[in-house]
Amino acid sequence: MKISVCVAKGKNKEKSEDTVVVGRQIISEEAVEYQCEGINCIAVADGVGGAAGGRDASRFVLKKLSSNIDNLKSEQELKVFFKELNSELLRYGKDVGTPNMATTITGLVFSEENCFLVHAGNTRLYILQGEYLKQITEDQTLYRWLLNTGNLEAAENCNRNVIRSCLGGGLASYAENLVIKKVFESALPITILFTSDGIHEFLDIDTMESLLNSKKSDADILKEMVEMAEANGSEDDKSVILIRNR
């Protein structure tokens, strides 16, 4: 398994609110590659920019996940863990004076026999099927909810970045729609892609497919995704994780 990661802070930001975890490695503002087997968790968390403490929230959640990952072998154990983790994040936010701190999360947790998806918010997981990207997660946003409920005009006029699910945020109810489920039960896809919204809101799927199917190195592909998103107007933090199982 080859894992390539790029995390870049947004324009005019002192620090990135995005955080990535690969196994026990916490990645905040760098580009790295790993060639490894036996990784038990890979995830991206995007601290919510509208709530103070977004960076702390994303790091808090992924550090807790990484340090407890050896004990999370089943769907039920993950559900219990994330319910307790959300309560810890809410308490931590109050203790440090930023009670509304929040983060999205999209990750894969691997046990010996299973692979579990963990998802809240609008960070994304894709897989490459042939030459085409398929989005595995569904954005938990106001925009997507309005589309799903048939309110097309309201969807076109809403703020597409408003999320409807996260960890933290000052209320336990924001985590009620956290998705935890088995995925890829037959076989792990050859190519897996994670993105934060600083990437996928500024790159169309055709562009991402073209890059992933190119002869360029994975490190160069991620670098180009970040540069192209910036050129298209992205001022947000940008995170990309690319996994190749071959």
Nearest partner of 54 among 239, 237, 185, 240, judged by Cα = 237
For residue 126, pLDDT over 80 is answered with yes
| pLDDT for position 164 | 93
| Bridge-based pairing state of the strands 179-182 and 18-22 | unpaired
Enter the tokens of residue 121: 């918010």
Return all residues near 35 (Cβ < 8 A) that are at least 6 apart.
1, 2, 3
| pLDDT for position 51 | 73
Q: What is the pLDDT of residues 51-71, one digit of tens each?
A: 789 999 999 999 999 999 999
Q: What is the pLDDT of residues 130-164, one digit of tens each?
A: 999 999 999 998 888 898 999 988 988 888 888 99
- Half-sphere exposure in the Cβ direction for 239 (13 Å, CA): 31
- Which of 5-14, 37-46, 200-209 has maximum average pLDDT? 200-209
For residue 50, pLDDT over 80 is answered with no
Enter the tokens of residue 20: 């990535």
The per-residue DSSP string of the chain comes to -EEEEEEEPPTT-SS-SEEEEETTEEESS-EEEEE-S---EEEEEEB-TTSTTHHHHHHHHHHHHHHHGGG--SHHHHHHHHHHHHHHHHHHHHHTT-TT-EE-EEEEEE-SS-EEEEEESS-EEEEEETTEEEE-S---BHHHHHHHTT-HHHHHHS-TT-BS--EETT-GGGGTT-EEEE--SS---SEEEEE-HHHHTTS-HHHHHHHHTSSS-HHHHHHHHHHHHHHTT--S-EEEEEEE--
Confidence category of residue 111, pLDDT binned at 50, 70, 90: confident
Enter the tokens of residue 168: 């933290």
Enter the tokens of residue 200: 């996928």
For residue 199, pLDDT over 90 is answered with yes
Confidence category of residue 189, pLDDT binned at 50, 70, 90: very high
- Torsion-angle region of residue 67: left (phi > 0), alpha (psi -120 to 50) or beta? alpha
For residue 31, pLDDT over 90 is answered with yes
Q: Do residues 102 and 168 touch, judged by C-beta distance below 8 A? A: yes
Pairwise CA distance, residues 28 & 44, whole Å: 10
Enter the tokens of residue 9: 């802070």
For residue 239, pLDDT over 90 is answered with yes
**Over residues 225-235, mean pLDDT:** 97
Enter the tokens of residue 175: 């985590």
- 79-83, 89-93, 142-146, range with the lowest pLDDT: 142-146
